[in-house]
Amino acid sequence: MYVKEVTVENQVGLHARPATFFIQKANEYKSSIWVEKEERRVNAKSLLGVLSLGIVGGTTIRIIADGADEQAAVDGLVKLVSSGFAE
């Protein structure tokens, strides 16, 4: 299992288009991936799950992965979130 914390660096957070980009990126990896906000953990590959967290800009989240490419998955998603979704 591999875990990192990251602050969401765009103004809208993980809503609408940024959430879609996040989920598309998460689905590129084979590992099981979760996103956690304030002890609530959801599947990072689920649009409804990610949207249900209500993640706004400036929020710190944890990205957690378990599987063969866990480090690449977490690092890739952290890079996406911390760049304000500019790949």
Contact 14, 80 (CB under 8 A): no
User: Residue 12 gets which letter from DSSP?
Assistant: S
Task: Reduce the DSSP state of residue 14 to 3 states and report it.
Answer: coil
Contact 18, 51 (CB under 8 A): no
Cite the active site residues. Answer: 15
